Every structure is written in structure tokens, then in C-alpha cells.
Structure 1
Amino acid sequence: MNKDLTGKVALVAGGTRGASRAIAVELGRSGAEVYVTGRTTREERSEVDRSETIEGTVDLIGEAGGSGVAVRVDHLDPDEVRGLAERIDAEHGRLDILVDGVWGGDDYIGWATPVWEHSLDASLRMVRLGIDSHIITSHHLLPLVIRQPGGLVVDMTDGTAEYNAKFREGTSLAFYVAKTAAHNLAIAQAAETRDHECTAVAMTPGWIRSEAMLDIFGVTEDTWRDALEEQPHFAISESPTFVGRAVAALAADPERARFSGQTLNSGQLAKVYGFDDVDGSRPDGWRYMVEVAGQDKPADTTGYR
């Protein structure tokens, strides 16, 4: 598998933690110069109020042998995003890879709360974070991506297009709308950038062992299997590195345009490009969620990782 991205310029928007942090690290490991943006720095926290920072992501990129730059940006502020685009333009004159992982809405989900009972402010905040920020980012950054042929745009989401074709029972209306918007964003971006030989996709990890998810179960990446007693289906979970490797492999694929407009997932691309998760397995998370968890079968990852 070719993952050489030497000389490429990448931006991971919302790269503070989770899947986006891992993507930034793997792009840097593969040789790209990575800009990492977000609202949480060592001096200031966002509404998510967690300890991970954009500087911490850049430190991890450095530990992986790569090079990164942390820039505090609120991607809901058009002026700040415009300033980011102007800085990248001045420093590199182009952007080869744009990964939009801006979110930060988990605290607003309102699990299984109907829209008329759910906080309207929380609902609208999720829409702003999951849709508006991505459109603002596209408006200001895509001109740099299309400046040269071969650009790549990745909109991060939660769930495959097939899985999200029905309402995600147990979530909430605004969460569902915000997350499924990525499928249509990718379709529209692919169409609008086609003449510039740009590839645009949506990307979802499986059940990801993000920092927040590990905290929910009271485990670490080393002890995550201890959570199986509480939630047996967590056996299909994957490290954030898995989707990071997926995006890095996609970015290095000279024939990636065949995926443009699609929603991809880490387990799917592992089969295409031949990479593994950190434990040497290849979890096929969304197929498992449909065929095992979704059918109320006992947890059994045989044939799924």
C-alpha cells in the first residue's frame, strides 16, 4: 500500500481529538504538511470542555515523524476561516487535502428525545456545527483545493449512507440531520469540483474508541476490552488510527476519483488498501452493526474483524 504524501499540504479542520486527530497524525506520518485547526488550545477550551488540544495533535504528528501547524479557528466564523485560507495561500499557494471533521455537538444530542421536547437551542447548535461550519469551510478552502488538479476533500460523518437511510432510532432529529448532511455534501462537492479533477467523499469510522468513548466506559486504549462486560458489542470497536490509515491510503491513491461522491468507511477501505488496525485486525464495523447488533444477536465478531 502506497501512503507517500511527501510534499502534500493538508488541512484537518476540527483536528483536536477523535477520528480527526488520528487522521491528522496519519497524514503527517505519510509525509504531508498538516494544518490542524480547532477551538481548544492550551490556553482556551471550547464548549466541548475536554483536555485535548490542537497543539497536542501537532505534538503527536511530530512524534510520528511528521510536520504540523496548529491554528486556532472557529469554523463557524467566516472571517476566521477566510483568514486561515489566506494564510495557507500565502505559505503554500494551494491545498491538496481538506479533511473537514468539525463537530463538537455530542453534548447536545438529547438521546431519544423528540424534537418538540428537545432543546431548540441544542438542536440548532448541532445543525450549525454539522452543516453550517462545513459549508463555510468549503466556501473559503475549496478555491485552494481546486487550484491544482487532483485535490481531495473528506467530510467526516457518523454512519454509512445505507445505515443512515433510515432514522437513527435512539438519537434525535437534529443530530440525524446534521450527520447525514455529509452524504449530500460529498455528492454536491464532487459535482461542483469535477471539472477540476477533485475527489470529494464523506467518511465514517466504525464504533470508534475516541478519547470520549473510552472515558464513557472508564477504560483506556490498552484496557478497552474491559468494557465488553458492560457492552458486549463494543468488541467490534476500532481505534481512531484505523480511520486515519483509511484517509491516508485514500489520499495516496492516484485512482481515488472512482470514489468521488460516495460515503466511505474505514472497514471498507481496509479491504481495498490492505491496512490493519493497531491490533492487526480489520474490523468491519458497519456490516457488524447491521448483521449482528441490529439483529439482536449475541456479540460475536467472528468474520467481522
Structure 2
Amino acid sequence: MKNRPVAVVTGASRGLGRGIAIALGEAGFTVYCTGRSDRQAVGPWGGTVRDTAELVDQAGGKGIVAICDHLDDFKTEALFKRVDAEQGRLDLLVNNAFAMPDWAVPDGNFWERPLSLWRDMIDVGLRSSYAASHFAAPIMVRQRCGLIANTSGPGGKIYRHALPYGVGKAGQDKLAHDMAHELRPFDVAAISLWPGLIGTERTLAGIAAGGVVGDNAGNLPHIETPFFIGRVLAAIHAAGDAMTLSGGTFYSTELASRYGVTDADGRLPESRRPLFGAPLYQPISCEVGEAVHDSGV
């Protein structure tokens, strides 16, 4: 397919990142799948970026292996130089890289946990989103279009898991909001997304063991497949109205309702708004009084 839209999905070796990449492939994207794992999985849950790239191909897109440790700014910069050299454009950046050890899933006192948890959730997570956006923005600004999407969650508003987790999620929302202000003159958008319970291998294993679900997480109607957010992002790209969303934080299922998107299993998962309330940040077009569609936020 000629003139495929181009996306970079960070942290695409497994879980949500893998699902997003595959869903974008289904929509015809060329997807640079980033992560540290080439032919051997890093961590207990399996998956490599090479596996993901092959699945993107099978879905109808073009998957490109992009081995990158996002703790290394030089490697991150080289990634986006490569994208620019090979494609000459970048339509979508999905900031999804994040590290969460299994032992950090249950709530626990920060002083009883190793300081490495900050590196995992803030440096691998929030800081890598800033660095990737820093190197992606010049490409998008030059072409005067593009979308940066951060995968976040209501942990920035409520207490969940561990202190660095909430700090990181709050930062993802604020990062998108403030980037949107600075990117606005160049018609480049930035948003943050709150998924429901994501049906990754780890989440499904936790549910099977009797954990995960509950008032502080959601229940079975809130479960989304890992492909759902990718489908939503593909729909935003196809609609061409990302600037009306820019700066906002959104429940993924509410955006799906706006764009007529269903999950891979044909369902529309329920929003967790009744549990967690409205996200803090509205689209900046609302702040300046422009007319926008009702986003439900």
C-alpha cells in the first residue's frame, strides 16, 4: 500500500503496546514497533518487538522492528532520525513505554519499596514520553500535522498501586495538555488516554486468580482488549479532527463512542467515569471558546 500513514508505538513488545501496533496495522499504518526485546523476551510475560512487527504485517500493515532502550536519549533520537530518513513523515506517536514489576501491582508503602520503582515508572514511563515527543515534534511541526497520544490512566487522580505510578500517570496527562498548547500553532495535536481494564496476559491472569477487579479498578464490563485504543487512534486519524481533542484527557471508550468504534470482540466497553469521575484536562479549544463536538469529558 502506497502512502501508508506512519506511526511509532513505544513499548510495543507485548501488552497494550503490542495491541495498539497491531490495530494500527489493521488500519493500514506503517508501524515502528519499539522496545528492548529483539529475538528474546525481556521479562516474564514474553513478547518481542520482532513478534509484534510480524503481527502488524499479518494484520495488513507494515511492521518495522525498532530496537530502542528509551532510557537512552541518543537511541531515542536515532529512532526518530531513522523514521524521518525512511518515511519523510510521522503521523502518530503513541507514548506507551512503561515498566511495572509484578510485585508493584498490589498497593504498598513507598518507603518499603526500592527506589528503582521511580526509574521504572517515571524514567521509563513519563520521561521517555517527553523524550520521544521532543524528537518527534520537529517532524510533525515541519509537516504541520500529526498526533501525539500518551497512554495514561486514572491513577493520576486516585491512589493506585504505588506512589510513582500515580505521579507518572498525572504527568502523562499534564504533558499532553501542555504540549498541545505549544504545538497548537503548527496544527499538531496531543492527547492523553485513560483505558479501562486492559485484557493483557497479566491482567487476565490476575482476574483468574481472583484479583485486579473491584471498586479501585473496575469490573468485567470495563475490560478492553489491547487492540481497542489502537482502533480508536486509527479512527481519530481517519476523521482528521484531532485538533478538536488536543490537550484533553479522555476515557478510551468515550472516544470510541464518538467515532463509532467497537473493540475487537465487537463490544463497546463501559466507561469507568462512574468510578473515577472526569479527567482534569479539557481540550484547549474549549479553553479558548471554540466550538467542538461533545467529548464526554
Instruction: Tell me the equivalent position of 1:297.
Output: none
Q: Does 1:141 align with 2:136?
A: yes
Q: 2:167 aligns with which of 167, 177, 198?
A: 177
Matched, 1:42 2:35: no
Give the alignment of 1:278-289 within 5 angstroms: 278-287=264-273, 289=275
Q: Is the 8 A contact 2:26 2:59 kept in 1?
A: yes
Unaligned runs of 5+ in 1: 220-226, 292-305
Q: Distance in 1 between matches of 2:84 and 2:266?
A: 39
Query: Are 1:101 and 2:96 matched, yes or no?
Result: yes
**Larger RCO (CA under 8 A, 6+ residues apart):** 1
Which residue is equivalent to 1:273? 259
Aligned counterpart in structure 1 of residue 153 of structure 2, from 133, 158, 165: 158
Q: Which residue of 1 aligns with 2:246?
A: 260
Quote how far apart the aligned CAs of 1:210 are.
0.9
- Residue 6 of structure 1, CA deviation: 5.3
* Residues 62-98 of structure 1: per-residue CA shift (max 9 Å, x gap): 1111111011101110111111112111112221111
**Corresponding position of 2:201:** 211
Q: Is 1:234 aligned to 2:220, yes or no?
A: yes
Count, aligned residues = 273
Distance 2:257 2:221 in 1: 19
1:58–1:16: structure 2 CA closer, same or farther, 3 Å change rule? same
Corresponding residue of 1:25? 22
SS, match of residue 263 in structure 2: coil
The verdict on how the C-alpha distance between 1:133 and 1:144 changes in structure 2, with shifts beyond 3 A counting, is same
Contact residue 83 and residue 89 of structure 2 kept, 8 A? yes
Q: Which residue of 2 aligns with 1:90?
A: 85
> Structure 1 length as normaliser, TM-score?
0.82
Amino acid at match of 1:197: D
Hey, what's the Cα distance between the residues in 2 that align with 1:279 and 1:156?
A: 21
Q: Which moved more, 1:237-246 or 1:189-198?
A: 237-246
Aligned-residue offset at 1:5 = 10
Q: How high is the TM-score relative to the length of structure 2? A: 0.84
Identity %: 33
Q: Give the equivalent residue in structure 2 for 1:195.
A: 185
CA distance in 1 between partners of 2:132 and 2:266 (Å): 35
Q: Is the 8 A contact 2:254 2:271 kept in 1?
A: no
2:60 to 47, 65, 71: 65
**Separation in 1 of the partners of 2:150 and 2:235?**
16
**Structure 1 residue ranges (4+ consecutive) displaced by more than 3 angstroms after TM superposition:** 288-291
Identify which range, 110-119 or 271-280, moves more after superposition. Answer: 110-119
| Counterparts of 2:11 and 2:18, CA distance in 1 | 8
Q: In structure 2, what is the Cα distance between the partners aligned to 1:246 and 1:22?
A: 12
CA distance in 2 between partners of 1:5 and 1:240 (Å):
27
SS of aligned partner of 2:205: helix
RMSD of the TM alignment (CA)?
2.4
User: In structure 1, how many angstroms separate the alpha carbons of the residues matched to 2:87 and 2:219?
Assistant: 45
Name the CA distance, whole Å, in 2 between partners of 1:203 and 1:290.
14
- Tell me, yes or no, if the aligned pair for 2:122 and 2:168 is still in contact at 8 Å: yes
Distance 1:149 1:279, change over 3 A: same
1:290 to partner: Cα distance: 4.3
Supply the distance in 2 between the matched residues of 1:139 and 1:196 (Cα, whole angstroms): 15
* Shift in CA distance, 32/213, structure 1 to aligned 2, threshold 3 Å: same
Query: Is the Cα–Cα contact under 8 Å of residues 152 and 194 in structure 2 kept in the other structure?
Result: yes
8 Å contact kept, 2:221–2:269:
no
The one-letter code sitting in structure 2 at the alignment partner of 1:207 is L
Q: Structure 1 pair 157/108, CA: closer, same or farther in 2 (3 Å)?
A: farther
* Amino acid of the structure 1 residue aligned with 2:139: L
